[in-house]
Amino acid sequence: MTFDILLQTLASGVLIGLIYALVAIGLTMIFGVMDIVNFAHGEFLMIGMYSSFWMFALFHLDPMLSLPLTALMLFAFGVLLYKLLIVRIVNAPMVSQIFTTFGLMILLRGLAQFFWKPDFRSIENSFVAGSFKLGQVQLGKPQLVAGIGAIVVTGLIYFFLTRTKLGAALEATAADKEAARLMGIDSHRMFALAWGIGAACAGVAGVLLSTFFPIFPEVGATFILIAFVVVNLGGFGSVTGAFWAGILVGVIEVMGGLLLGPEYKLAIVLVLFLGVLMWRPQGLLGKA
Amino acid sequence: MKTFANNFLVRAVLLGMGFGAATIAQAQPEVKIGVIYPLTGAAASSGAEMRDALELAVDIINNGAKSVPQLPFAAGGGLPNLKGAKIKLVFADHQGNPQVGATEAERLITQEKVSAVMGAYFSNVTATASMVAERYKVPFLNAESSSASLTQRGFKWFFRTTPHDDLFVRNQFEFLKDLKAKKGIDVKSIATFNENTLWGNETTKLQAKLVPENGYAMARQIVYPARSTQLTSEVQTLKAAAPTVVMQSSYLGDALLSMKTYKELGFSPDMILANDAGFSDTEFTKTLGKDADYIISREVWALDLAKNNPLIRQVNDLFMSRYKINFTGNSSRTFTGLMVLADAINRAGSTEPEAIRKALTETDIPASKLIMPWKGVKFDADGQNTLGQGILVQIMNGQNNTVWPFDVAAREVVWPMPKWDQRK
């Protein structure tokens, strides 16, 4: 087990962890602001991937160029979903909320398979294709760009939440819906905003992933499971928590797989996760 | 008077027509066959190909096909010994989930009242679904699952036309021996890289036995969780083990991901010996393009076998004209499976499960009536077809080329695989 291999694995772990983080940030935002677990979040990722694919296949638009377009589309889609569907279950019992988002997940997957067939698609020869060596470490360009993209988006979200008035309003609604209302902050607008941003985050993660991961209707399932672990680990509602937890999970998964055996990699992540939950149930950076 | 006569005549004619219609209806019963395949889920594209194959077979049997005169039932008109009864397929989607497969089998048997069941591609789903069929005493014909244990359960109602992994994996070792004998190519160490469902695990156990038995060093045995988001740690481990040959068993999603990771991390052994499945799917070569070249996979079928068997070219042309793709090892076996089942039901002359089961045990189909490179179809006491055979193909320019057995090879094998930076 040479140092090179360890360094290589660490780099790969951080890069995939950043993707996990980006997916989780959208999810944690929705939960933080309105206490709804969005089971269909993986499908936003899937739609983002397909959007990137179709723009590449039909209009020869590189994923890096179509990224802002996809982000805007997913934002609008998230807001639309809120206004048409989620607004009806905001005050419903949790079971109804779970059923709704779960049903949405199945609907979106089914529609994707119906319109785009179950075949695997992929984007080859995009602008960021290829790999390069940084010292002894071989990095895939798509993965590196995806990692950097995830950092940039997280930074933007963080900046939005902490430095802008609208962001403060969102945080206020997350902290105490009623008090925020009393201050004149319209909860429904904030919820719609949260859904829009959440969907856009997952969509951007999808675009970044589409440069190196196969695209198919069920791809959301693979990532949503890990996203849930990341959100729990980082603390429901905490964006910075989701960020660091995502990186942590990515590194543990890959390093653990290398050092203890690939068949255990998910088990290691989940054991650590159990440990954190027992010692600190609100997650690493969650509000107690 | 006239009115009375008219009335009587009209009623008599109507009555006669009624009886006639009833007799016609009775002379056209259907034979319902339940088919359980992954129509959604990660293997949905494989499932779609197999569904196409089934529909083609049923269409040939029910409506005939002039372009394939040597194929049984090509005259059309349904099953002759059942007075032209047409076959009706009742589809069920198992989504790649063994529990769903079992539930669907139960639904097909108890509610749809099918006379026989076919399925399910995934070995783990076939295992559970066929258990249900065994319990209800309904014949279950399996055409594509290769886990050896499926025909080691002492079942009476389970029949498998495809050869199983035991044979296929042994084929790979025979190939390596032939390589040494005929081309002087030496393999020092082998690493196994398999997914972790029933299929991958059984293959791993078998390879663990056969690698040392054949005198090779086992560099490393890696079992990875199917449907991972990334395979970095797995490929790193492989790289560290530095094997001459990697023997890999992956379904489509993992096959694609692993190849991309090999390229990204610059891992290129002398050869990748793949265990069919994902590597045989049309999507694999379509997605990877040139990166898929040089991989050798055990296969059950290849288009270039048509050189020695014109029936293969005829049936493939029919498939291509309809679905715009060639047969693969999967779809060709599914097609063959339905033809074998139809042959048995026809010989049984009845839709009673016990009669079909008995007819299946008496199956004896010669190689000339098959589109597979087999010696025929004949089931042993465990329901396994003993006349099956495998081949090895090498992917070149997106096409499968038969390279072994050397006497039916269409092309010389290229060994070793060029390194990634040497391919352009």
| Average pLDDT score over chain A | 89
Handedness of CA B324, B326, B328, B330 (dihedral sign): positive
Residue range B356-366: mean pLDDT, rounded: 95
Average pLDDT, chain B: 88
Q: Which residues contact A161 (CB under 8 A, 6 or more apart)?
A: A167, A168, A170, A171, A239
Parallel, antiparallel, or unpaired for β B189-195 and B217-224? Answer: parallel
- ipTM for this prediction: 0.71
Q: Which residue has the higher pLDDT, B5 or B274?
A: B274
**Averaged over B235-262, what is the pLDDT?**
90
Q: CB of A25 within 8 A of CB of A154?
A: yes
Helix (H, G, I), strand (E, B), or coil: what is residue B416?
coil
Chain B CB contacts of A256 under 8 Å are 233
**Nearest in space to B369 (alpha carbons), one of B336, B322, B334, B330:** B336
Give me the residue from A138, A216, A226 closest to B265, CB to CB: A138
What is the phi/psi pair of residue A266, to 5°?
A: -70, -35
* pLDDT in the model for residue A238: 87
Which tens digit of pLDDT belongs to each residue from B298-327? 988 888 888 878 899 999 999 999 999 989
Decide if A133 is inside a domain. no
**DSSP type of residue B385:** B
Q: What is the pLDDT of residue B26?
A: 47
pLDDT at A136 over 80: no
Q: Mean of the pLDDT values across residues A27-39?
A: 90
Q: Is residue A124 part of a domain?
A: no
CA Rg, chain B, in Å?
A: 24
Provide the pLDDT for residue A279: 87
Residue among B46, B50, B100, B230 with most chain A CBs within 10 A, to mutate: B230
| Beta pairing partners, B195 | B224
Distance from CA of B336 to the nearest CA of A (A): 24
Residue A17, classed as helix, strand or coil, is helix
Two tokens at B36? 């359980």
pLDDT at B20 over 60: no
Using an 8 Å CB-CB cutoff, list chain A residues near B236: 5, 8-9, 12, 258
Q: How far apart are CA B69 and CA B311, in angstroms?
A: 9
The predicted pLDDT at position B11 comes to 64
- The DSSP code sequence of A124-170 is -S-TT-SEEEETTEEEEHHHHHHHHHHHHHHHHHHHHHHHSHHHHHH
Q: For residue range A253-282, what is the model confidence (pLDDT) as tens digits?
A: 998 888 888 878 888 888 888 888 888 888
| Mean pLDDT within B250-259 | 89
For A116-130, A142-156, B221-235, which range has the lowest pLDDT when averaged over its residues? A116-130
SS3 content of chain A, % helix, strand, coil (to 5): 75, 5, 20
Closest Cα partner for A82 from A169, A174, A196?
A196
User: Where are the strands (E) in B244-364, listed by range?
Assistant: 245-249, 271-274, 296-299
Q: How far apart are CA B354 and CA B348, in angstroms?
A: 9
Q: Which residues of A touch B (CB under 8 A)?
A: 1, 5, 8-9, 12-13, 16, 109-110, 113, 117-122, 124, 131, 138, 140, 143, 212-214, 216-218, 221-223, 226, 253-258, 262-263, 265-266
Any idea where the domains of chain B sit in the sequence? 27-163+306-377, 166-299+391-422
CB atoms within 10 A of CB B368: 9
pLDDT of B328 strictly over 60: yes
The answer, yes or no, to whether residue B369 has pLDDT greater than 70, is: yes
- Is residue B38 very low, low, confident or very high in pLDDT (cuts 50, 70, 90)? very high
| Residue A211, SS3 per DSSP | coil
A87 and A234 Cβ atoms separated by less than 8 Å:
no
Number of domains chain A contains: 1
Residue B9: is its pLDDT beyond 80?
no
- B290: distance to nearest CA of chain A, Å? 11
Q: Tell me whether residues A16 and B283 touch, CB distance under 8 A.
A: no
- Is the separation of the CB atoms in B404 and B175 below 8 Å? yes
A34-65 pLDDT, tens digit per residue, is 888 899 999 999 999 999 999 999 999 999 99
Among A22, A144, A229, A265, the strongest candidate for a mutation testing the B interface, having the largest count of B CBs within 10 A, is A265
Note whether A54 and A215 are within 8 A (CB): no
Q: For the domain with range B166-299+391-422, which CATH number is right: 3.50.50.60, 3.40.50.2300, 3.40.630.40, 3.40.50.300?
A: 3.40.50.2300
**A254 assigned to some structural domain:** yes
* Fold of the domain spanning B27-163+306-377: Rossmann fold (3.40.50)
Question: The tokens of A63 are what?
Answer: 């994923």
**Would B27-163+306-377 and B166-299+391-422 be classified into the same CATH topology?**
yes
**Alpha-carbon distances, residue B72 vs B76, B161, B358 (angstroms):** 9, 17, 20
Angle (nearest 5°) at CA B88 between B87 and B89: 120
Give residue B417's pLDDT band: very low, low, confident or very high (50, 70, 90): very high
Helix axes A3-34, A187-210, angle to 10 degrees: 160
Range name among A66-75, A166-175, B102-111 with the lowest pLDDT average: A166-175
Residue B108 neighbours by CB under 8 Å, 6+ apart: B34, B36, B90, B92, B114, B117
Is pLDDT of B288 > 90?
Answer: no
Minimal CA separation from A222 to chain B, in Å: 6
Q: pLDDT tens digits, residue range B116-135? A: 999 999 999 999 999 999 99
Q: Are strands B140-142 and B86-93 parallel, antiparallel or unpaired?
A: unpaired
Distance CA A18, CA A38 (A): 20
Identity of the amino acid at B55: E
Query: Own/partner pairs for B304-312, CB < 8 Å, 24+ apart?
Result: B304/B400, B304/B401, B304/B402, B304/B410, B304/B411, B305/B373, B305/B391, B305/B402, B305/B408, B307/B410, B308/B408, B309/B371, B309/B373, B311/B68, B311/B70, B311/B71, B311/B368, B311/B369, B311/B370, B311/B371, B312/B371
pLDDT at B138 over 70: yes
Q: Which domain holds residue A175?
A: 10-117+140-279
What chain B residue is nearest to A144 in terms of C-alpha separation?
Answer: B264
Domain membership of residue A108 (yes or no) is yes
Work out the angle at residue B119's Cα, subtended by the Cα atoms of residues B116 and B124, and round it to the nearest 5 degrees.
Answer: 130
* CATH code where residue A210 lies: 1.10.3470
Residue of chain A with shortest Cα separation from B222: A262
Q: What pLDDT does residue B23 have?
A: 46
Contacts of B229 in chain A (CB under 8 A): 16, 213, 222-223, 226
